[in-house]
Amino acid sequence: MGAAVGNANAGDSVARFLQQRGIVAQAQQTPSGADPAAPGLLNQVRDKASDLVLSAMNFLGVPYKRGGNSVSNGFDCSGFTRHIFEMSVGLVLPRRADEQAKLSSLVPIKKEDLKPGDLVFFNTMRATFSHVGIYVGEGKFIHSPRVGGAVRVEDMREAYWAKRFTGARRADLNQANAGT
């Protein structure tokens, strides 16, 4: 299968997956059956970030484990993001959330400019960058939340997350997997 076909299929797969899980609304179809021209998640995910988001979604339900960085042992928040970025785009992130936020190769992004695949950071432990997840679109992110929890998708607009949001970073995914 060609790369262009694979990327288009990955974008379609992400869209279907998010719709089936109720994470995004069903796409409106134009009379020709094509995606609508309106901007939104379904149009944003048709690039390399779609593979990253789809990879992350494969880990829904994996238990949280402090210091965890594998499916067999569970993930903490930064172990999850590190695993997803390394596995799907070949970018090795630092181990801790605060180190990921300070990585010079990641570009700071404004909340209104978020795209699927961006890292989102929160202050959950009285530290500016104490929690990290991956933005999936339409105000939602996937993360490994806390002891007793499991990898899941949550809405950043909910009061808890909205007041704790501290920033976002974007990796150059074209550079990250140029060697793969």
In a domain, 34, yes or no: no
Residue 142's pLDDT is 98
In a domain, 7, yes or no: no
Q: What is the CATH number of the domain that holds 91?
A: 3.90.1720.10
Catalytic annotation on 114? no
In a domain, 10, yes or no: no
Catalytic annotation on 131? yes
Residue 23's pLDDT is 56
Residue 34's pLDDT is 41
164 closest CA partner among 115, 92, 97, 71: 97
Residue 128's pLDDT is 87
Catalytic annotation on 83? no
Which of 143, 153, 156, 171 is flagged as catalytic? 143
Residue 50's pLDDT is 83
Which of 10, 45, 62, 77 is flagged as catalytic? 77
Both structure tokens of 171: 């990796």
Domain tally for the chain?
1
pTM listed for this prediction: 0.75
Residue 174's pLDDT is 72
In a domain, 17, yes or no: no
* 165-170 and 107-109 beta bridge pairing: antiparallel
In a domain, 8, yes or no: no
Q: What is the pLDDT along the chain (180 residues), one digit of tens a residue?
A: 343 344 445 455 556 666 666 655 554 443 334 444 444 544 444 467 888 999 999 999 999 999 999 999 999 999 999 999 999 999 999 999 999 999 999 999 999 999 999 999 999 998 889 999 999 999 999 999 999 999 999 999 999 999 999 999 999 877 665 544
Which of 82, 131, 140, 169 is flagged as catalytic? 131
In a domain, 18, yes or no: no
Tell me the sheet residues that pair with 69. Answer: 75
In a domain, 3, yes or no: no
CA angle at 41 for the pair 58 and 170, rounded to the nearest 5°: 75
Give the residue numbers spanning the domain of 170: 46-176
Residues 128, 174: Cα–Cα separation, whole Å: 28
In a domain, 40, yes or no: no
